[in-house]
């Protein structure tokens, strides 16, 4: 094949594959098998490689480019607003009445489903996808084009030619339930925490830095709003039909309704039928169809006056309450959890549900053996919201809340005015110990990369770590090849293990944590009431761990921000022998137990006040702040008329920039700052 022939074949394949994509994703009516599709795609890939030629909409290049370090911020040409919500049909009638008062023109409505995902704006120029931007704060969002391109149903090049040269189309990125369930299963097997719902999974996926990972997430993009300087046709309904012809994935679940009765019929049908869809919908959106009337009605500050969202009630199902377990959380709170007969609800199989707390069980008079109503909100674990009293059997058993901790046996406590029982054995109750270790490794404390919540639980359950000091005795050999069987039936096996790379990461993360400053070590210990700021104050005042340990209540209370609650908590912690032993081991391991005084380097910045914002090239933000202080300057957190300089790195927020400009504060770069502190 010569070059000319190759280019012609590449052009042909690009076009053909785009059409198959459309048939598959939008029309849900593929003409060829997946296998044949893959063969054509392979042919295209190898021709593109051999002749170093490809078209901008090449379907072989949906996944490409380097991982993105930081997404570019893009300002929305038209802000991405929200919709006003209603929960009843009466409110919808009010909406209709309001609209009819505001216009004398004839109009009708378009009803669509409200897709429960992550909003996206797609921008097209001359028929080619130019940019995809997330909603962000409604005014500016992240440029996630390379991630969006991996979604097969997003057209890279439009069909036809009657589209405006520049326009924007908005929609929702969703993760279908089938992909969501598969992804969560994979995550659990890899020892990662599952996503709470498909919406979080979709928005989390869009923020991934590596498009090749996004490509595996099997996202969907459904479109619902078009905007351009001039609309090619006069109604929303007609535009959606056109958009579909141009190749966009506009869902077929749309109806044109003349009046509220027709709107209600649409709502009732979909309230039933939505459970059969493979993606989450949480309501129906009702839009005035005629653009001219939309314009007449306009917008409030938050939402259009020509549209409204009717929200479905959360999906519920009935099931039988088999037994109740008690779970102790990482903070010591004890939650009753219901074991249920398996029931299918909102795309997943439910076997367990939260019973919240003792009062709710009593108020609802829930008994074991009862038929209960389960509801799925945004949380990962569904909740029980009621009992079918008319189905109660005679042998339904009342049950009593436990009085001692199921994990460690300590007598439970309940504070006045609070609804939860908790286990007060904070430092020795297993789930609370795990919670403590998870806090210790967290980003704001010791920042041990490579270890996460699930790995900590795993290592604890294996008996490899019993407290944070044990982390520093872990060896590569202990970690590498460590296996866990995740099967829940004890018959099939689903083994996962720690691979070489992961074991190395953990060891390196632990080693690196030895450089974390004393204040963060102190914060990491998870002593009750000692947050980040207090830890900082304590570290500065005491200077080192031994001195802190010697302080009495009065001395402690003389420190800024320290009251009796904090002082007592600290004293009690130091009184516990096992804590002292652990501290000794941490010290032995080489952790920082001494505050490093900021060394005075000069006073070039004396009397000057700085606000530091954004990301820098030569220093971290903390280093910059330390440098300012070391040269006699002050660091503030918000820009005011007292600020002398705003030190702006990359990606500084536009609001801050505007504020600085408004107050006439000088904005300087990292380089200019380096110049200010340079020695002469």
In this structure, what token pair is assigned to residue 83?
A: 């919709």
Using the minimum distance from each CB to ligand IVH, give the nearer residue, 115 or 266. 115
Q: Terminal CA-to-CA distance of the chain, rounded, Å? A: 67
What lies within 8 Å, CB to CB, of 531 at 6+ separation is 523
Within residues 345-364, the interface with ligand IVH by CB under 6 A covers none
**Strand pairing class (609-613; 348-354):** unpaired
Is the dihedral angle over the CA atoms 75, 135, 60, 23 positive or is it negative?
A: negative
Dihedral of CA atoms 47, 49, 54, 57 in degrees, nearest 10, equals: 90
Which of these segments, 78-86, 232-240, 408-416, 670-678, binds ligand IVH (CB under 6 A)?
78-86
| Shortest CB 81 distance to ligand IVH, Å | 4
Q: Among residues 11, 46, 82, 300, which is the contact residue for ligand IVH, using CB under 6 A?
A: 82
Nearby residues of 235 by Cβ (< 8 Å), 6 or more positions away:
110, 289, 290, 291
Q: How far is the CB of 525 from ligand IVH (least distance, A)?
A: 43
Closer Cβ to ligand IVH, 54 or 115, answer by number: 115
Query: Least separation, in Å, of the C-beta of 231 and ligand IVH?
Result: 15
| 122 in Cβ contact with 168 (< 8 Å) | yes
Closest residue to ligand IVH using C-beta atoms: 119
Residue-wise over 579-601: b if at least 16 C-beta within 10 A, else e? beebbebbbebebbbbbeeeeee
- Using alpha carbons, select from 263, 305, 256 the residue that is nearest to residue 89: 263
Find the binder of ligand IVH among 48, 68, 74, 112 (CB under 6 A).
112
Taking the C-alpha atoms of residue 259 and residue 264, their distance in angstroms, rounded to an integer, is 9
CB of 102 to ligand IVH, least distance (A): 17
Query: What SS3 class is residue 284?
Result: strand
Tokens representing 440 are 């210790």
Q: Cβ closer to ligand IVH: 222 or 605?
A: 222
Nearer to ligand IVH, 241 or 362 (CB): 241
* Interface residue with ligand IVH, options 309, 451, 519, 570 (CB under 6 A): 309
Min. distance of Cβ 145 from ligand IVH in angstroms? 19
Of the ranges 151-159, 302-310, 453-461, 607-615, which one interacts with ligand IVH (CB under 6 A)? 302-310
Instruction: Tell me: does residue 115 bind ligand IVH (CB under 6 A).
Output: yes
Q: Which is nearer to ligand IVH, 285 or 586 (CB)?
A: 285
Pairing mode of beta strands 307-311, 495-497: unpaired
Interface positions, 202-231, toward ligand IVH (CB under 6 A) = 224-225
Query: Within positions 23 to 52, which residues make up the interface with ligand IVH, using CB under 6 A?
Result: none
CB of 284 to ligand IVH, least distance (A): 8
Considering the rule CB under 6 A, would residue 300 count as an interface residue with ligand IVH?
no
Q: Residue 665's closest CA among 629, 648, 640?
A: 640
> What is the Cα–Cα distance from 557 to 542, expressed in whole angstroms?
12
Give the interface segment with ligand IVH, choosing from 107-115, 122-130, 241-249, 666-674 (CB under 6 A): 107-115
State both tokens at 396: 């339904």
Q: How far is the CB of 639 from ligand IVH (least distance, A)?
A: 31
* Nearer CB in complex with ligand IVH: 83/530: 83
Closest CB 82 distance from ligand IVH, rounded Å:
4
Per DSSP, the residues of 339-396 read EEEEEEETTEEEEEEE---HHHHHHHT--BT-EEEEE--SSSS-EEEEE-GGG--TTP
Residue 199 as a binder of ligand IVH (CB under 6 A): the answer is: no
Asked if residues 205 and 217 have their Cβ atoms less than 8 Å apart, the reply is: yes
Kind plus residue range of the DSSP H or E element containing 633: none
Segment contacting ligand IVH by CB under 6 A, of 108-116, 155-163, 242-250, 515-523: 108-116
Helix or strand (DSSP H, E) at 646: strand 645-648
By the rule CB under 6 A, 119 interacts with ligand IVH = yes
Q: Closest by alpha carbon to 84, among 317, 337, 285, 218?
A: 285
Nearest approach, Cβ of residue 143 and ligand IVH (Å): 18
Whichever of 285 and 387 has its CB closer to ligand IVH, that residue is: 285
Give the nearest distance from C-beta 69 to ligand IVH in angstroms: 27
Which one of the spans 76-84, 399-407, 428-436, 615-623 is the region binding ligand IVH (CB under 6 A)?
Answer: 76-84
Which listed range, 81-89, 195-203, 376-384, 542-550, lies at the site for ligand IVH (CB under 6 A)? Answer: 81-89
Nearer to ligand IVH by Cβ, of 134 and 425: the residue is 134
Residue numbers 471-500 binding ligand IVH by CB under 6 A: none
Q: Taking a C-beta distance cutoff of 8 angstroms, is the pair 340, 119 a contact?
A: no
391-410 residues near ligand IVH, rule: CB under 6 A = none
Minimum Å distance from CB 227 to ligand IVH?
A: 10
Catalytic annotation, residues? 114
CA 576 to each of CA 123, 161, 405, 554: distance values in angstroms, whole numbers, following the listed order: 62, 76, 21, 20
Residue 118 or residue 643: which is nearer to ligand IVH going by CB?
A: 118
Which region, left, alpha or beta, applies to residue 327 given φ > 0 means left and ψ of -120 to 50 means alpha? beta
Question: Does 109 participate in binding ligand IVH (rule CB under 6 A)?
Answer: no
Task: From 330, 359, 112, 316, select the one nearest 223 (Cα to Cα).
Answer: 112
Phi, psi of 598, deg, nearest 5: -65, 120
Q: Are 639 and 606 in contact (CB under 8 A)?
A: no
Nearer to ligand IVH, 142 or 172 (CB): 172
Instruction: Return the residues of window 266-295 that contact ligand IVH according to CB under 6 A.
Output: 285
Binding residue (CB under 6 A) for ligand IVH from 141, 211, 247, 304: 304
Rank residues 153 and 335 by Cβ distance to ligand IVH and give the closer one: 153
Q: How far is C-alpha 484 from the chain's CA centre?
A: 27
Q: Which is nearer to ligand IVH, 203 or 357 (CB)?
A: 203
Dist CA 248 CA 158 (whole Å) = 8
Kindly list the distances between the CA atom of residue 43 and the CA atoms of 9, 13, 137, 153, in Å, as whole numbers in the listed order. Answer: 10, 8, 43, 21
Min dist. Cβ of residue 252 to ligand IVH (A): 13
Residue of 32, 81, 630, 667 interacting with ligand IVH (CB under 6 A): 81
Binding site for ligand IVH (CB under 6 A): 81-83, 112, 114-115, 119, 172, 224-225, 285, 304, 307, 309
């Amino acid at each position: 094949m010569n070059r000319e022939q190759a280019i012609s074949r590449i052009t042909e394949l690009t076009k053909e594959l785009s059409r198959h994509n459309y048939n598959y994703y939008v029309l849900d009516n593929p003409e060829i098998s997946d296998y044949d599709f893959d063969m054509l795609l392979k042919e295209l890939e190898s021709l593109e490689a051999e002749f170093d030629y490809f078209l901008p909409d090449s379907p072989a290049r949906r996944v490409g480019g380097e991982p993105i370090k930081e997404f570019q911020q893009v300002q929305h040409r038209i802000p991405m607003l929200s919709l006003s919500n209603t929960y009843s049909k009466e409110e919808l009638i009010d909406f209709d009445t309001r609209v009819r008062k505001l216009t004398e023109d004839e109009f009708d409505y378009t009803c669509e489903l409200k897709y429960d995902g992550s909003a996206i704006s797609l921008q097209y120029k001359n028929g080619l996808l130019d940019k995809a931007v997330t909603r962000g704060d409604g005014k500016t969002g992240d440029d996630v084009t390379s991630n969006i391109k991996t979604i097969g149903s997003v057209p890279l090049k439009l069909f036809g030619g009657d589209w405006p040269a520049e326009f924007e189309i908005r929609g929702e990125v969703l993760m279908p339930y089938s992909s969501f369930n598969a992804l969560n299963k994979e995550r659990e097997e890899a020892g990662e925490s599952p996503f709470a719902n498909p919406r979080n999974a979709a928005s989390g996926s869009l923020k991934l830095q590596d498009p090749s990972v996004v490509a595996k997430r099997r996202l969907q993009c459904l479109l619902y709003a078009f905007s351009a300087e001039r609309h090619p046709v006069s109604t929303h309904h007609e535009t959606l039909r056109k958009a579909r012809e141009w190749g966009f994935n506009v869902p077929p679940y749309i109806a044109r309704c003349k009046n509220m009765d027709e709107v209600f019929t649409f709502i009732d049908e979909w309230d039933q039928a939505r459970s059969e869809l493979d993606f989450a919908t949480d309501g129906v959106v009702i839009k005035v169809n005629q653009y001219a009337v939309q314009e007449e009605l306009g917008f409030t500050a938050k939402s259009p006056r020509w549209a409204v969202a009717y929200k479905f009630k959360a999906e519920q199902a009935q099931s039988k309450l088999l037994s109740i377990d008690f779970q102790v959380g990482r903070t010591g709170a004890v939650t009753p959890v219901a074991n249920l007969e398996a029931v299918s609800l909102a795309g997943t199989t439910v076997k367990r549900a939260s019973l919240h707390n003792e009062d709710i069980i009593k108020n609802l008079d829930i008994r074991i053996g009862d038929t209960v109503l389960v509801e799925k909100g945004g949380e990962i674990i569904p909740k029980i919201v009621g009992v079918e009293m008319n189905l109660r059997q005679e042998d339904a058993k009342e049950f009593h809340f436990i009085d001692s901790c199921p994990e460690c046996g300590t007598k439970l406590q309940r504070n006045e005015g609070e609804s939860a029982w908790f286990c007060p054995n904070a430092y020795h109750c297993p789930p609370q110990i795990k919670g403590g270790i998870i806090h210790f490794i967290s980003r704001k404390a010791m920042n041990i990369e490579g270890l996460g919540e699930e790995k900590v639980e795993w290592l604890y359950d294996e008996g490899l770590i019993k407290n944070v000091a044990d982390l520093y005795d872990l060896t590569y050999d202990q970690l590498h090849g460590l296996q866990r069987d995740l099967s829940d039936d004890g018959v099939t096996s689903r083994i996962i293990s720690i691979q070489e790379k992961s074991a190395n990461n953990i060891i390196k993360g632990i080693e690196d944590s030895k450089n974390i400053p004393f204040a963060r070590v102190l914060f990491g210990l998870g002593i009750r009431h000692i947050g980040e700021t207090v830890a900082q104050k304590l570290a500065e005042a005491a200077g080192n761990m031994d001195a802190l340990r010697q302080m009495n209540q009065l001395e402690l209370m003389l420190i800024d921000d320290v009251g009796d609650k904090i002082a007592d908590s600290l004293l009690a912690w130091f009184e516990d022998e096992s804590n002292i032993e652990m501290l000794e081991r941490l010290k032995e391991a080489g952790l920082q137990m001494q505050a490093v005084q900021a060394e005075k380097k000069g006073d070039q910045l004396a009397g000057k006040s700085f606000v530091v914002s954004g990301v820098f090239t030569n220093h971290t933000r903390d280093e910059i702040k330390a440098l300012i202080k070391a040269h006699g300057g002050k660091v503030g957190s918000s820009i005011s008329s007292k600020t002398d300089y705003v030190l702006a790195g990359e990606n500084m927020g536009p609001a801050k920039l505007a504020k600085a400009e408004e107050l006439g504060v000088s904005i300087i770069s990292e380089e200019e700052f380096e110049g200010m502190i340079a020695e002469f």
